[in-house]
A and B are shown apart, each in its own frame.
Chain A
Amino acid sequence: MSKQGTLITVNGKSYGRVVDARLTLADFLRHEINLTGTHLGCEHGVCGACTVLVDGRSVRSCLMFAVQANGCEVTTVEGLAPDGKLSVLQQAFIDNHGLQCGFCTPGMLITLTELLREKPQPSEQDVREAITGNLCRCTGYAGIVKAALDAAQRLRNGAGKAGAR
């Protein structure tokens, strides 16, 4: 039973694979189904670059085995802009310089997508606390915080969905 049949729905599409039980969800996404937008920065659950939504909740995909996601719905960064048009949050990241190297960005977007869905009117402190589980070494966070608050404002003004499915 070190190998398991696993069926995971990722960004609305079903993927059935027989995988090693020890394969992390992150490696499944990156290397089994080639969705390389989800990044690995520490593999011990601190940096948050690998954050994805599993059944709508943000989780570390380096701390889940793919077999645990059997039957689950997973959303990755690729699923935030399925038709190629960037979400309101993604556009706000451009406008507010919310990224530099872009490596932590997918995890940031996923976490903030969850936050904005749960709390459409977050305070700056809410945003900062929400992303304490996502490390960024480039930006000093200012642009990310500004982008999240800007996106929340635009969404409240009816600019569409945050990008979460």
Chain B
Amino acid sequence: MKPATFDYHAPRQLKEAIELLAKLPNAKILAGGQSLVPMMNFRYVIVDHLIDLGGLDELRGITLGNGLLRIGAMTRQRDLEVSPEIAKHCPLMSEALRHVGHRQTRNRGTIGGSLAHADPAAELPAVCAAYDATVHAVSVRGIRQIPFREFAAGFMATALKSDEMIAAVDVPIWRLGHGHGFHEFARRQGDFAITGAAALLDVGVDNVVRRATLTLFGVTASPLRVEAAESRLVGQPLDAGAIRAAAAAAWLIEPISDIHAGGEYRRHLAQVLSSRALNDAARRAGVTA
């Protein structure tokens, strides 16, 4: 299980990186490498050129402003996990990260790599879907801002063109005091989820839901916003019945079947986990449903 040969490039600047990407045939970006390198070791992926973004400090870091968190693509998952800004403004992401792989893979894995890899069962794409994040794609042609729902283009596929790479992702922040819930079912700690659910609820003082998102992952080719659930919640008083009705909407999805689980089981889990995620979100929004 040794990778096939390739040429290695370690640009020191973003400009250099996108020029290489535009120029080199059969090239791939190396971000954290925690998904790509196993596939290279199995020789499922064979590239002629590997462009390592590890030296691009400009792609690392978290900044807060204009109502959003801007996260550089090369920010390591471990740095996000321990970031007080993320914990405060994007608590769903903090919670989700505890389920992402293991300490050693989080030390290397990056948010940009996670989004570009687009595993349907991965946590970070689900968080981006939940927050309606925007992906900044860069190429020699310029910067393109891609809403996450367009970015996630299918099973392990994104809207990135072959000469584009992710520079950053913008996560709009919700009002402080919003509630979040994140539940996934994986066979073991750190495994990819068989099914997971992420919920965000913003509840007014009148107990009426102002905003709501419910996102499922591991069930379809890419993270799935359950719009039927969201519309059942928004504008309604938040109570047990409302949560039950919203979670029941998860029953309507058409989940995938694979070696890890059948579609029926995933549908069952989707409903169970949606309910748990929504209940947590309600509790954290100050509502006892």
Interface residue ranges, A against B (CB under 8 Å)? 1-2, 4, 20-22, 24, 27, 43-45, 48, 51, 57-60, 62-65, 67-68, 70, 111, 114-115, 129-130, 132-133
Contacts and interface: CB of A to CB of B under 8 A. Distances in A.
Given A58-B104, A68-B54, A114-B103, A21 B37 contact: no
Given A43-B1, A44-B1, A63-B37, A1 B105 contact: no
A27 B52 CA distance: 19
A2 B105 contact: no
Interface in B83-123: 101-105, 107-108
Interface residues of B, number: 31
B8 A1 contact: yes
A133 B189 CA distance: 9
A51 B52 CA distance: 21
Nearest to A62: B41
A64 B108 contact: yes
* A interface majority secondary structure: mixed
Given A2-B5, A43-B2, A45-B34, 17 more contacts: A2-B6, A2-B8, A20-B5, A21-B50, A22-B5, A45-B38, A51-B104, A58-B104, A59-B104, A62-B41, A63-B33, A63-B34, A64-B33, A64-B37, A65-B37, A129-B189, A133-B102
Contacts of A64: 33, 37, 108
B10 interface: yes
A57 B107 CA distance: 7
Most chain A CB inside 10 Å of its own CB: which residue of B34, B78, B103, B104: B104
Contacts of B104: 48, 51, 58-60, 111, 133
A21 B7 contact: yes
Interface in B1-50: 1-10, 30, 33-34, 37-38, 41-42, 50
Contacts of B190: 132-133
A60 B41 CA distance: 13
B141 interface: no
Given A43-B1, A57-B107, A63-B34, A1 B102 contact: no
Given A44-B1, A44-B42, A62-B41, A21 B105 contact: no
B175 interface: no
Contacts of B2: 22, 24, 27, 43
A133 B105 contact: yes
Contacts of A130: 103
A132 B105 CA distance: 11
A133 B101 contact: yes
Nearest to A6: B8
Contacts of A57: 78, 107-108
B5 A63 contact: no
A60 B108 contact: yes
14 contacts: A4-B8, A43-B1, A44-B42, A45-B37, A45-B38, A45-B105, A58-B103, A58-B104, A59-B108, A60-B104, A65-B33, A115-B103, A130-B103, A133-B105
